[in-house]
Amino acid sequence: MDETTNGPDNGPFFHGTKAELHIGDVLTPNYESNYQRKKANYIYFTATLDAAKWGAELAKGDLKERIYLVEPEGIFENDPNVTDKRFPGNPTRSYRSKEPLKVIAELKCWERHSDEMLNHMRTSLDNLRKQGLDVIDD
């Protein structure tokens, strides 16, 4: 079982998306997921820029990819979709919460993954989808 806490990781924390947000906006669960056409029970975030970049680059939609600095307003836990299934020990420092995240800044300048890396990741995700293995523990 993941440890639930409100602060073993001091961040900074990032949220990658294609949504246009503003300083002071609050992200909450129960909105449509960035990745599946269903409401998410959690809001997801990370303490690594690389994971945030993947979040922005792989989010559905045609809007601009964005990375926001966010501040958890309550307890959060390791994201079991990443830590238990792909990266035991949480080296990606990926988290989820049922409590809000406050947008405190937008990271305006960041380097995208290469087209080759993005195509490889998209192909891998498509293969998981075809096998029915793209289930998100939400």
Residue 138 lies in a domain: no
Comparing 125 with 41, the larger pLDDT belongs to: 41
Residue 123 lies in a domain: yes
Residue 73 lies in a domain: yes
Residue 41 lies in a domain: yes
DSSP per residue over 81-126, as a string?
A: HHHTTT-TT-TT-EEEESS-EEEEEEE---PPPPHHHHHHHHHHHH
**The predicted structure's pLDDT at residue 129:** 72
Report how many domains make up the chain.
1
Average pLDDT, the chain: 83
pLDDT at 43 over 50: yes
Range of the domain at 78: 4-130
Residue 135 lies in a domain: no
Residue 105 lies in a domain: yes
3 state SS of 42: coil
Residue 35 lies in a domain: yes
Residue 89 lies in a domain: yes
Measured from the Cβ of residue 61, the count of other Cβ atoms closer than 10 Å reads 10
Mean pLDDT is lowest, of 27-31, 71-75, 95-99, for 27-31
Look up the CATH number of the domain holding residue 109. Answer: 3.20.170.40
Average pLDDT estimate for 79-100: 80
**The predicted structure's pLDDT at residue 3:** 45
pLDDT at 132 over 70: no
